[in-house]
A and B are shown apart, each in its own frame.
Chain A
Amino acid sequence: MSLAGGPPLIEVEHLTMRFGGLLAIDDVSFSANPREITAIIGPNGAGKTTVFNCITGFYKPTVGRLRLHAGEGEFLLERMLGHEIGQRAKVARTFQNIRLFPGMTVLENLLVAQHNKLMRASGWSVLGLLGFASYRTAEAEAVALARDWLERIRLLPDADRPAGELPYGAQRRLEIARAMCTGPRLLCLDEPAAGLNPRESGELNDLLLSIRDRDGIGVLLIEHDMSVVMNISNHVVVLDYGRKIAEGGPAAVRSDPAVIRAYLGTDDEAIDG
């Protein structure tokens, strides 16, 4: 399935999530490949964010397997603690309602993302506290990485401003950059284009394409903005009422009758006419 012929990046198998009597996700299986953008679309309440929360460890799935293939082996995400998924499996995510550290500066936000790397370099704070040179070098490298990302998202002049003061579109870009600073294998973006104007949304497309092509990261994307989905995704998974109703390339999904029905309703006249 993958372009290189290798295994997919993540395989979601029979994922089911039940909240009491509510079946939020019902036996959903799909896979996403490395160096590709996979979009998950569907009407409101279809269970898209729940899939994300299962993949990133915020929920424990009721049933199902989440297999992440990494160079050194595979991780079963459903068995890992929330923070381990970011720390060891290297899955990074953004949130539907932006979750930056608003009181901290833009640069600090990007350094917090490199926490685990810097913790090791600072000898779990002991060497850092004593002012060892090895920590200072590691910190300089971390700042350099942050600076690169700030240039890419055009926020370099705002590096020392509190993140909460930035305009909305800039906060969206910063959240993506922060997730990228963790050095992820898989980047999960929950509605990154929500609330962006057409120009900003075009810039977002370029940023996501550069993450795919230049950084070689697999991207999993929840999106309502069809211009984003259709222009940049390689593969689209459509959910409705917690079930997968279609899967395939953007053009195929767009003309799929089940998808049209899910989005426009089952008015027979509308389909006949």
Chain B
Amino acid sequence: MGSRLPSMLKDAGLTAFVAAALGIFIVGFRTVDIGRGLTFDYQIVDLAVAVVTIFFGRFGLSLAANGLRWPAIVLGVVMIAIGVSPMQLPSGFLHWFVALGGVLLVIRAIWPWANDAMAAAARTPTGRTIDRVASKWFGWALLVAAVLMPFTPMADQKTMDLGVLILTYVMLGWGLNIVVGLAGLLDLGYVAFYAVGAYAYALLSTQHGMGFWVVLPLAGMMAALFGLVLGFPVLRLRGDYLAIVTLGFGEIIRLVLLNWVDLTNGPAGIGSIPGPTLFGAVFAETAPAGKQTVAEMLGIPFNGIHRLIFLYYIILVLALITNLFTQRMRRLPVGRAWEALREDETACRALGINPTNTKLTAFAIGAMFAGFAGSFFAAKQRFISPESFVFIESAIILAIVVLGGMGSQVGVVLAAVLLIGLPEWFRDLGNYRMLAFGLAMVLIMVFRPRGLVAHREPSIRLHPAGSGGGG
């Protein structure tokens, strides 16, 4: 091992040099406005700390790669300790940088070992049973946690808001999962159907006085109709071509919303959209004429959080409907045909399956759930504008599906919590939160390339699960 030490040190030195050369312009200097003009502020200490961290980080990685697991772990732990210690580093970010570097190093050092152990455990029959039981019960545990969440002490305004947001994305993820995960159609414009649902509710409620519960199914149907109209001409395209057309469609919808000022009020958006009602009662401190507030109806004092809890349960139920519907469809011939289309379209055609119709049903049903979610979004926000339906939303929903593991229902929940929850929880990191977000994505891609939950449960079994007949 001693003979490799010089080359490892050289490698670490070279990495540190490259980091210093790049960092001197990015981190080392900073322009400061002093009123009369700009001047330089030097942050050489920051740069030095970062370069030293990179040197030891690289050295630790080389140690781990050469099988020197324990020195690498010790180095990682020391880095974490420095990161979290009260010691004064020049900036708060450097604490995070050092600590995260240490965490990465430790993970890298333990990974091959943990991976082998997990794989070996998963191969044994008991391991397989545990795996299956855990994946089954995990979903139920998540559901119970989601139902009970509003009654726990942690359910303050901020958490409930975040819960509603995450559940909205879970629902959108489950909806898109039908299109991308099951039918294998890469849809980059999913947010268009979300926008259709949102504007359907906003317009019908503000201009025609229709209530949330009446519009909800209408919005879903409207979005499904848009799905059919778009899908019919383009679904004969495959793969990348379909992705580009759907991307274009998403933009077209947004531009129409932006420019059709007479109908949509253009970039100014639509405001004062009524929220959902509970048996006709509204969630507000004072009821409008002829209406009753929920607090009056139930005889409880008014509290702003009631509205949030109500919204939380609406979206939870909507999301669960999406999930149950999908689970059910998977076991029907049309669901199996979706998956078969994803696997091999040519073979499907040879078996007498109409690929266009099958794709259209997937596309329209996916769009319908986006429409439901959209009208919920409008009712929750009370204000919508085309700003809410930009491409990045489609990308996030797609990322949730892909990250969760294509076609996996529990995976979508985990990915939504990760992708929506993490950036919110990391708000303390300020500008660096996207860095942490990117790091989390890279880690997942490295360690779980096929998504968080890559296991596919057959839609039907001939032999009971775990009888040893299958694999």
For B347, list chain A residues within 8 Å (CB): 95, 99-101
The answer, yes or no, to whether B329 is at the interface (CB within 8 Å) is yes
The answer, yes or no, to whether A233 is at the interface (CB within 8 Å) is no
Whether B351 lies near A112 (C-beta < 8 A) is yes
The answer, yes or no, to whether A128 is at the interface (CB within 8 Å) is yes
Of the listed stretches A33-41, A159-167, A221-229, A234-242, name the one at the interface; the rest are far from the partner chain: A159-167
The answer, yes or no, to whether A87 is at the interface (CB within 8 Å) is yes
A210 and B250 alpha carbons, distance in the complex (Å): 54
- Nearest opposing residue in chain B for A84, CB measure: B352
Q: Which listed residue, A84, A88, A160, touches B470 by the CB 8 Å rule?
A: A160
For B269, list chain A residues within 8 Å (CB): none
A102 and B337 alpha carbons, distance in the complex (Å): 14
A92 and B355 alpha carbons, distance in the complex (Å): 16
- Number of chain B residues close to chain A: CB under 8 A: 35
Which residues of B307-326 have CB atoms within 8 Å of chain A's CB atoms?
A: 325
B453 to chain A minimum Cβ distance, whole angstroms, is: 14
- Number of chain A residues close to chain B: CB under 8 A: 52
The answer, yes or no, to whether B295 is at the interface (CB within 8 Å) is no
Q: Which listed residue, A105, A116, A124, touches B352 by the CB 8 Å rule?
A: A116
What 0/1 pattern do residues 109 to 131 of A give for CB contact below 8 A with B? 00111111011001011001100
Whether A101 lies near B340 (C-beta < 8 A) is yes
For B328, list chain A residues within 8 Å (CB): 129
The answer, yes or no, to whether A93 is at the interface (CB within 8 Å) is yes
The answer, yes or no, to whether A104 is at the interface (CB within 8 Å) is yes
For A161, list chain B residues within 8 Å (CB): 470-471
Known: A101-B339, A101-B344, A108-B336. A115 touches B460 (CB 8 A): no
Q: Which listed residue, B336, B348, B350, B461, touches A92 by the CB 8 Å rule?
A: B350
A123 and B261 alpha carbons, distance in the complex (Å): 43
B363 to chain A minimum Cβ distance, whole angstroms, is: 15
Whether B333 lies near A103 (C-beta < 8 A) is no
The answer, yes or no, to whether A158 is at the interface (CB within 8 Å) is yes
A119 and B340 alpha carbons, distance in the complex (Å): 15
Whether B344 lies near A100 (C-beta < 8 A) is yes
A111 and B337 alpha carbons, distance in the complex (Å): 9
Whether A103 lies near B352 (C-beta < 8 A) is no
For B348, list chain A residues within 8 Å (CB): 83, 112
The answer, yes or no, to whether A178 is at the interface (CB within 8 Å) is yes
Whether B351 lies near A122 (C-beta < 8 A) is no
For B459, list chain A residues within 8 Å (CB): 108
A140 to chain B minimum Cβ distance, whole angstroms, is: 11
B111 to chain A minimum Cβ distance, whole angstroms, is: 27
The answer, yes or no, to whether A85 is at the interface (CB within 8 Å) is yes
Whether B352 lies near A104 (C-beta < 8 A) is no
Name 14 interchain pairs, CB-CB below 8 A, sorted by A.
A86-B352, A87-B354, A99-B346, A104-B340, A105-B458, A107-B458, A112-B337, A115-B336, A122-B332, A122-B334, A125-B334, A128-B333, A157-B463, A160-B463
4 closest A-B pairs by CB: A86-B352, A160-B470, A87-B352, A101-B343
